[in-house]
A and B are shown apart, each in its own frame.
Chain A
Amino acid sequence: MGPKTAQRLALHLVVSGKSSINRLISSLEEARDQIGYCSICGNLTDTDPCIICADSKRDKSVICVVGYPKDVLAIERAGGYQGVYHVLHGYIEPLKGVGPDDIRVKELLGRVKEGKGEIKEVILATNPDIDGETTALYLARALKPLGVRVTRLARGLPFGADLDYADEVTLAKSLEGRREM
């Protein structure tokens, strides 16, 4: 939520009195209590596993790796992707002291190892900026010895643009045209 929206919301709440504020607080609390992370893919969800991981029609042999939950939303919105996800909850960002152990890298490697050959392809859909690229290269190095096909989104994305800003057509094309790493 941007600062303008927040301000408008706050104004509205002040005007509409105490009971509506209490109602808002309790529904926010409810949301907080019910929403957690999917134990398989790490995406935000109110059920475990999440509806994508639980969907029998989704292709479990393809995992698309993204930085944040918002990226899952962006790819789902673009449509066409049938596989499942893995959310890292961050990138390797040396300048912020964030290393591979601080994001969900181990969980991804564990998933691929435990899949015992069922997982055929991992698509690295990290941002095309330097930290996204570092993270993708790191993962490619770690995944390849596990005998899985590792691909990267095609460079259709505007340079340096965040994944969730990419428009839907570009994103879908970028997924189609992914390349071997």
Chain B
Amino acid sequence: MIISLLLLQNFRNYPYLQLELKPGVSLFLGKNAQGKTNLLEACYYMSTLTSPRAEKESDLALWGASGFSLQGRLEDGSSTTTIRIDVSMTPSLRRRILLNDRPAKRQDLSLSFPCVYFCPDDLYMVKGSSALRRRFMDSLLSREDPVYAKDLSWYHDTVTRRNMALKKAPGDSSWEKTLETLEDLLVDTGSRVLSKRLRLLRSFTEYVKEAYEFISGGECHVSYNSSIGPIDEDLAGIRETFKKTLEKYRTEERLRGMTLVGPHRDDLAIVFRDKTFRYFGSQGQQRSVVLALKMAEARSFEEVFHTKPVLLLDDVLSELDDDKRSRVLSLCSFGYQILLTATDFPKDRGPGFHTFIVKDNNVTPL
């Protein structure tokens, strides 16, 4: 699917902006701090009701405005969908979501407008802490499956409560019983989370491998590293393993007042098999693997939503060498619409390449 019309009202630095977009690559070209990222952010917000960089909605409204509105027209083959999101902040945060002028829910958004966002900070996914890789999996799965999002949030809430109970339990029988109850909840929600992560990995591993090969010609393997021990996606098996592992950590968890095992401690392991193998890989390998992860995310959305997501690439081209850059841009020939920001013209622009100049709160086609 593609987004063919984007309309922003009081969003970031745009009091009012209407933009016609075409299939292929749309390049937003401009100096720093002109509002290029803001355009991609608007798309991402329409798809997820979250921002890749702002914590709260009030950051997204034009300074001084009490809310903002975003509209989009989406085209998928012969069908057209309109999205409208109105956000007001006073007296309290209210969001109104309209799909084809009818009220809709958050989870309907990623279904009609799946997006994959990629920015330079995503590099930390490879070299940074495991929390970033978990967030990547969780964000992907939450958008594909609202039940996952709910289970995950219950799981995290249970962990914080259980940590508190672990501190109180020693020598207190009713807190000890509370702990047993929280453990039931932990195992219930945590096992469902784990099972879905593993089911994702079944196809995802292959997607990453293929994408990495496409970009760099090298070999790369991702796998799930669980803190509860080796598991497959079978729910009953996971539950059993989870319980056994908790039993093993019983004393240590009470001593430290912390839940030491579970999906909140797991990792997505990345292994390179190029000749130039190094622990984290070279800079180039790191860039390629993040790109591969994002392309795999796109494949996964395609599988689940039965349509190609829009790729939002923020400032990432300049970091890639010529060869990789042209491979990324060639993705549009596979039917992906790409919205791209850059400060300089990329060398190799093929057909279906549309440039917009972003300057002084205005976006004009070149």
Contact = CB atoms under 8 A, between A and B. Distances in A.
B177 interface: yes
Interface string B174-199: 11011011101100000000000000
B150 interface: yes
B162 interface: yes
A134 B185 contact: yes
Contact of B164 (A94, A101, A137): A94
Contact of A94 (B177, B178, B180): B178
Interface in A83-109: 92, 94-95, 97, 99-101, 105
A58 interface: no
Report which residue of A94, A100, A101, A137 has the largest number of chain B beta carbons within 10 angstroms of its beta carbon: A94
Nearest to A133: B185
Contacts of A94: 161-162, 164-165, 168, 178, 182
Interface stretch (B4-12, B152-160, B261-269, B282-290): B152-160
Contacts of B160: 95
A165 interface: no
Contacts of A100: 174-175, 177-178
B165 to A, nearest CB: 5
Given A95-B160, A100-B174, A134 B168 contact: no
A130 B181 contact: no
Contacts of B181: 92, 134, 137-138, 141
Contacts of B185: 130, 133-134, 137
Interface in A128-180: 130-131, 133-134, 137-138, 141-142, 159
Given A134-B161, A141-B180, A99 B154 contact: no
Interface in B116-170: 150, 154, 157-158, 160-162, 164-165, 168
Given A130-B161, A137-B185, A92 B168 contact: no
A138 B185 CA distance: 11
Interface residues of B, number: 20
A130 B184 CA distance: 12
Contacts of A105: 174
Given A94-B168, A99-B168, A133-B185, A138 B177 contact: yes
Contact of A97 (B154, B158, B162, B168): B168
A65 to B, nearest CB: 15
B177 A130 contact: no
Nearest to A141: B181
Given A94-B168, A133-B185, A137-B184, A99 B150 contact: no
A95 B182 CA distance: 12
B161 A99 contact: no
A95 B180 contact: no
Contacts of A97: 164, 168
Nearest to A140: B181
Contacts of B180: 141
Nearest to B175: A99
Given A134-B178, A134-B185, A159 B150 contact: yes
Contacts of B165: 94
A111 B154 CA distance: 32
Interface string B183-223: 01100000000000000000000000000000000000000
A92 B177 CA distance: 11
A142 B182 CA distance: 14
Nearest to B154: A130
Report which residue of A95, A99, A131 has the largest number of chain B beta carbons within 10 angstroms of its beta carbon: A99
A131 B150 CA distance: 15
7 contacts: A94-B165, A94-B178, A100-B175, A100-B177, A130-B185, A137-B185, A141-B181
Interface of A: 92, 94-95, 97, 99-101, 105, 130-131, 133-134, 137-138, 141-142, 159
Given A100-B175, A159-B150, 8 more contacts: A92-B178, A94-B164, A95-B160, A95-B164, A130-B157, A134-B178, A141-B177, A141-B180
Interface of B: 150, 154, 157-158, 160-162, 164-165, 168, 172, 174-175, 177-178, 180-182, 184-185
Which 5 A/B pairs are nearest by Cβ-Cβ distance?
A94-B164, A94-B161, A138-B181, A100-B174, A130-B157
